[in-house]
Amino acid sequence: MNKVMVIGSFLILLAGCAKPPENPNILDDQATAAGDQGSSYGGDCAGMTGTAPVIDTEDRDQWGTAGLDLEAMDRRFEAGDDFFCFVNGAWYVNFLMPEDKTRYGSFTLLADKSEARVKKIIEELATRAPDPDTLEGKVAAFYSAYLDSDGIDKRGLAPAQSYLQQIQQIKNRTDLAEAFGTLGFASPLGGWVDIDSKDTENYIFYITQSGLGLPDRDIYLSDDGENKATRAGYLKYLTVLLAAADYAEPAVVAARVLALETDIARAHWDRAVGRNRNLTYNKITLDKLLELGAGFPMEPMLQKLQLAEQAEFVVRELNPNSAKIAELGLDEDQVEKISGGGVSGILSLMVSADLADWQAYLTAHFLSDHAAVLPKAIDHASFEFYAKQLRGQEQQRPRWKRAVSAVESSLGEAVGSIYAARYFPPENKRAMDALVKNLRLAMADNLDELAWMSDATKVAARDKLKKFTPKMGYAEKFATYESLTVGSHAFENTMAANRWAYDDMIGQLGQPIDRTEWFMLPQTVNAYYSPNRNEIVFPAAILQPPFFNIAADPAINYGAIGAVIGHELGHGFDDQGSKSDGDGVLRNWWSDADRQAFEDKTDALVGQYDAFCPLDGGDTCINGRLGLGENSGDLGGLSMALKAYKMSLDGNGDGRISADEQAPVIGGYTGEQRFFMAWAQAWRSKYREQALRQQLIRGPHSPPYYRVNGVVRNFDEWYEAFDVDAESALYLPPSERIRIW
Ligand SMILES: [Zn+2]
C-alpha cells in the first residue's frame, strides 16, 4: 500500500521527499501498483504459465548485443496487427506473475532491482551497528523496528490509544477542526506546499479535496462494473476496523461511515475535469478561505497545521462563477461534473454531518492509514481489501520488502545518497546529457516545422524549450534528518517521520525557492515534469536497461529513454503543461487560433484512445480525456526521439542520412525497426484484471499495451519500417494519423 493512498490527513506525503509537485507529471503509476497475472487484454499474446522474474542486482547484461531481448518476441504476430505482442509476445506468455504483484513490466523489473539494492545498503548499514543518533543508525533502527511484526502485534492498539482517545473526546466542531489539523488523522481536505503557479518566486499552500477510502469518487456514486462489490468489500473492511476499536455495533456504524464518505464523494470534482489547471488555480486570501468555511471553525485546523499566518492559499476545487465558466469555455457536461461543491461542499459537510459519524470516520481511517504498523489483524484486513480485492494481489509482500518501502518513504534520501554514489557512474550522466541535448534540438526543429502553430506562439515555445532544466541521476544535496528521532517502535517511528516531513515542507513557506529540490529519490524507477519549475527529472534507477543501455546502439537509447525524456519534455507542451511559460508561470502564451488548432488535434487523440476497451466485453474503456496529457506526451516524445535519433545518424550534419551514415542492421533489424522495438520493449507489461480495471478508472496513464500500439500507428516511419499496409489491424489512413509535435 503506498503512502499517497494511505495517509489521508491534511498532507499528501509522497515518498521521503515529502510532497508531490503541483501537477506532477510522473511517467507511470507504478508506485501505486504491486502485481498481476490473470488478465488478457492483448489478444492471443495473453498467457498464464511460465517462469517467475529473476532479479539481478549486479549489472549483468540481459539485453544482448542488439540491446533487445529478442527471445521475448513472438514473430507469429505481424508487427502491423499487434506491435506489442510482436515485440513482447513470448515474454508475455511465458511470464509468471509473482503472487505479491498485480502488474509486472520493465518498471517493476527495475523497481525490484532497486529494492534489492536498497535492502543490501540497509543491511550493510545495520551490520555495522551504528550509533542510533547518526543517519546510518536511524536507517538501521527504522528498518529493524518495522521488521519486528511480532513486537508490533504484542503491543496491540496501545500505541494508537492516545489518538483514538482524542477522537472519542471530540465534543464540538472546534474539536473536530483540531482533529482534521492533527497529523496522522484523516481529513476530507488535503494539501501541500509548492511553488505558486502564477508567482513562481514564491511558495504557497495548495488545498484540495481528499478523504476517500476508495480510490475514486465514481466507485461510491455509480453501480458500473464492479463498483457495488467494491463497496460491499469496503463496508466489510470498515466493520473490521470499527470492531477493533470496540464499537458495539460496528456494522451499523460502518454503514454510516460509508454514507458519509459517499457524501464527500458527491462533493468531489470529477478527475478528468479537475485536470484543467486554469480551473484549479484559485488563489484566495485567508479571510476568503475562512468565509468558505461557512460556519465551520477553520482557525483551529489551520493553527494546528501551522498555516494560520498564511495570507493566501490556492484552493483547487473552488466553484467557478459564470464568468470563469465562460472564460474557460466549460460545457454543460463539464460543469455538471464539478457541481458537487468541491472544497466548499466538503466544508459544509464538516458543519452538517453528525459528529458521531465523523468520529467513526476518523477512527476507521486512523487504523486503516497506519495498518502496516498496527497488529496483524488490522494489517491483514487492509491487505484483503486494498491489495487482494481491489487489485487482485494474491499474497502480501514479504515484510522485508515492505520495510524497505517504509524506509524509502520516511528516510529515503539517507539511502539515496549511498545508492547514487554506488550505482550511477559519471559516464552514464555524460551519455544522458548528450541525449538530452539532441532531444532539445529535435524539439526545436519540430517546432519550426509545425504547420498549425503561428510564428508568434513559436517564439514563446522556443523560449520555453530553451529554459528547460534537465536533472539527471540524483539531487545535489540530500536531507540529513537531524531533527528526526528514531526509536525501537515502528508506530512511533512512522508518526515521527510524518511529522518531520510535514515540518520540513511547511518550513519552505516564505523561503526562497529551492531550485535543487527533487520530488523523487535516485533509487525510484520513474520520472517527472514539473510545469512550475519547467524541469524534467530522471532518477538514476530508471537510467538502466531496457530504458537506457550504455552498451547498446543509439536506436535503442533513443527509442526507449529518449522517447521517455521526450514524453516528459512533451508535458511542457501538452494540454495542461502548455499553460505554463518558460519560467513556469501559469499564463496564456498561445493565440486563440493556435489553442484551437491544438485542441482539434488533441480531440482526435482522445477519440483514438476512447476506442480502446479492454474489459467487460468492450464496455470498460480507456478514458481518453483523462489520459490526454499522457498519451500526447507519448506521441510527442516518440516523435522528438525519432527526430533526435536521425540527427544522431547524420554525422556530417547535412540534414539527410547518406548511405554511409545508415544505421547498421543488428540482430536482423534496421535502425528504425530497433528504434520502435525499443519503445515497445520498454513498455512490456502484464496486469491482473483487477489492477487493469483500477488503472482504467484512475488513469491518467494508459495501460502499456496501448502506450505501444496506440502510439506507433500514428508514425509514417513505423509503417515504412515494418511494411504495414491497409490490411493490418493497427492501420490508420494517413489522414487519421496524428502528429502534434
Ligand atoms: Zn507523463
User: Which grid cell is 241?
Assistant: 476496523
For the stretch 442-453, pLDDT in tens is 999 988 888 889
Instruction: State the distance from the centre of ligand 1 to the C-alpha of 640, rounded, in angstroms.
Output: 15
Instruction: State the distance from the centre of ligand 1 to the C-alpha of 24, rounded, in angstroms.
Output: 9
User: Beta-carbon neighbour count of residue 230 at 10 Å?
Assistant: 22
The pLDDT, as a whole number, for residue 193 is 96
Instruction: State the distance from the centre of ligand 1 to the C-alpha of 292, rounded, in angstroms.
Output: 34
Instruction: State the distance from the centre of ligand 1 to the C-alpha of 560, rounded, in angstroms.
Output: 14
Distance CA(256)–CA(502), nearest Å, equals: 31
The pLDDT, as a whole number, for residue 697 is 82
Instruction: State the distance from the centre of ligand 1 to the C-alpha of 304, rounded, in angstroms.
Output: 35
For the stretch 360-395, pLDDT in tens is 999 999 999 999 999 999 999 999 999 999 988 989
| DSSP summary character for residue 615 | B
Instruction: State the distance from the centre of ligand 1 to the C-alpha of 31, rounded, in angstroms.
Output: 14
Contact in structure between 741 and 640 (CB atoms under 8 Å): yes
User: Which grid cell is 409?
Assistant: 518513504
Give the per-residue SS3 of 369-406.
Answer: HCHHHCCHHHHHHHHHHHHHHHHCCCCCCCHHHHHHHH
The pLDDT, as a whole number, for residue 30 is 44
Task: Please tell me the pTM assigned to this model.
Answer: 0.80
User: Beta-carbon neighbour count of residue 494 at 10 Å?
Assistant: 23
The pLDDT, as a whole number, for residue 499 is 97
Q: Could you tell me which of 372, 387, 412, 384 has the C-alpha nearest to residue 98? A: 387
Q: Which residues contact 684 (CB under 8 A, 6 or more apart)?
A: 72, 84, 87, 88, 91, 92, 105, 106, 704
Q: Which residues contact 62 (CB under 8 A, 6 or more apart)?
A: 56, 69, 545
The pLDDT, as a whole number, for residue 685 is 92
Count Cβ atoms within 10 A of the Cβ of residue 511 and give its class: 0-12 exposed, 13-18 middle, 19 or more buried.
exposed
Sign, CA torsion 330/332/333/339: positive
Instruction: State the distance from the centre of ligand 1 to the C-alpha of 368, rounded, in angstroms.
Output: 30
Lowest mean pLDDT across 7-21, 107-121, 636-650, 697-711: 7-21
Mean pLDDT value of segment 469-481: 93
Q: Which helix (H) or strand (E) holds 471?
A: strand 469-473
517: left (phi over 0), alpha (psi -120 to 50) or beta: beta
Q: Could you tell me which of 227, 274, 272 has the C-alpha nearest to residue 620? A: 227
Contact in structure between 708 and 680 (CB atoms under 8 Å): yes
Q: Which helix (H) or strand (E) holds 536?
A: strand 535-539
Count Cβ atoms within 10 A of the Cβ of residue 467 and give its class: 0-12 exposed, 13-18 middle, 19 or more buried.
middle
For the stretch 180-237, pLDDT in tens is 999 999 999 999 999 999 999 999 999 999 999 999 999 999 998 889 999 999 999 9
Query: What percent of the chain lies above the pLDDT cut of 90?
Result: 66
For the stretch 44-64, pLDDT in tens is 464 434 565 565 555 555 677
User: Which grid cell is 441?
Assistant: 534540438
User: Looking at this protein, which amino acid is placed at residue 482?
Assistant: E
Q: SS3 helix, strand, coil % of the chain, rounded to 5?
A: 55, 10, 40
3-state SS, residue 677:
helix
For the stretch 279-329, pLDDT in tens is 999 999 999 999 998 899 999 999 999 999 999 999 999 999 999 999 999
Count Cβ atoms within 10 A of the Cβ of residue 287 and give its class: 0-12 exposed, 13-18 middle, 19 or more buried.
exposed
Instruction: State the distance from the centre of ligand 1 to the C-alpha of 243, rounded, in angstroms.
Output: 42
Distance CA(177)–CA(531), nearest Å, equals: 33
On the CB side of 71, how many CA atoms lie within 13 Å of its CA?
Answer: 6
For the stretch 589-619, pLDDT in tens is 888 888 888 888 889 999 999 999 988 888 8
User: Which grid cell is 482?
Assistant: 537531524
3-state SS, residue 103:
strand
pLDDT at 2 over 50: no
Instruction: State the distance from the centre of ligand 1 to the C-alpha of 711, rounded, in angstroms.
Output: 14
The pLDDT, as a whole number, for residue 107 is 87
Mean pLDDT value of segment 488-508: 97
Distance CA(725)–CA(113), nearest Å, equals: 40
User: Which grid cell is 701?
Assistant: 496513464
Q: pLDDT grade, residue 27 (50/70/90)?
A: low
pLDDT at 1 over 50: no
Give the residue carrying C-alpha cell 477493533. Answer: 244
Mean pLDDT value of segment 678-689: 93
pLDDT at 19 over 70: no
Distance CA(453)–CA(449), nearest Å, equals: 9
Residue 95 Cα to chain centre, angstroms: 25
3-state SS, residue 618:
helix
Give the residue carrying C-alpha cell 470498460. Answer: 620
Say what the alpha-carbon torsion angle 177, 365, 250, 238 is, to the nearest 10 degrees.
Answer: 140
Q: Could you tell me which of 700, 698, 434, 446 has the C-alpha nearest to residue 570? A: 446
Give the pairing of strands 535-539 and 469-473: parallel
Mean pLDDT of the chain: 88
The pLDDT, as a whole number, for residue 50 is 52
Instruction: State the distance from the centre of ligand 1 to the C-alpha of 25, rounded, in angstroms.
Output: 5
3-state SS, residue 504:
helix
Instruction: State the distance from the centre of ligand 1 to the C-alpha of 571, rounded, in angstroms.
Output: 7
Contact in structure between 393 and 38 (CB atoms under 8 Å): no
Give the residue carrying C-alpha cell 482517545. Answer: 165
Instruction: State the distance from the centre of ligand 1 to the C-alpha of 340, rounded, in angstroms.
Output: 28
Instruction: State the distance from the centre of ligand 1 to the C-alpha of 352, rounded, in angstroms.
Output: 39
Distance CA(273)–CA(386), nearest Å, equals: 26
pLDDT at 492 over 70: yes
CA distances from 144 to 35, 139, 201, 243, 416 (A): 25, 9, 42, 30, 18
pLDDT at 120 over 70: yes
Q: Could you tell me which of 219, 220, 165 has the C-alpha nearest to residue 366? A: 165
pLDDT at 18 over 70: no
The pLDDT, as a whole number, for residue 56 is 57
Mean pLDDT value of segment 330-342: 94
The pLDDT, as a whole number, for residue 573 is 80
The pLDDT, as a whole number, for residue 530 is 87
| Intra-chain end-to-end CA distance of the chain, in Å | 37
DSSP, residue by residue, 201-216 = EEEEEEEEE---SSS-
Query: Rounded to the nearest 5°, which phi and psi values hold at 451?
Result: -80, -30
Instruction: State the distance from the centre of ligand 1 to the C-alpha of 56, rounded, in angstroms.
Output: 27
Mean pLDDT value of segment 334-338: 95
Instruction: State the distance from the centre of ligand 1 to the C-alpha of 138, rounded, in angstroms.
Output: 34
Q: Packing angle between helix 671-682 and helix 83-94, nearest 10 degrees?
A: 50
Instruction: State the distance from the centre of ligand 1 to the C-alpha of 567, rounded, in angstroms.
Output: 6
For the stretch 129-185, pLDDT in tens is 889 889 999 999 999 999 999 999 999 999 999 999 999 999 999 999 999 999 999
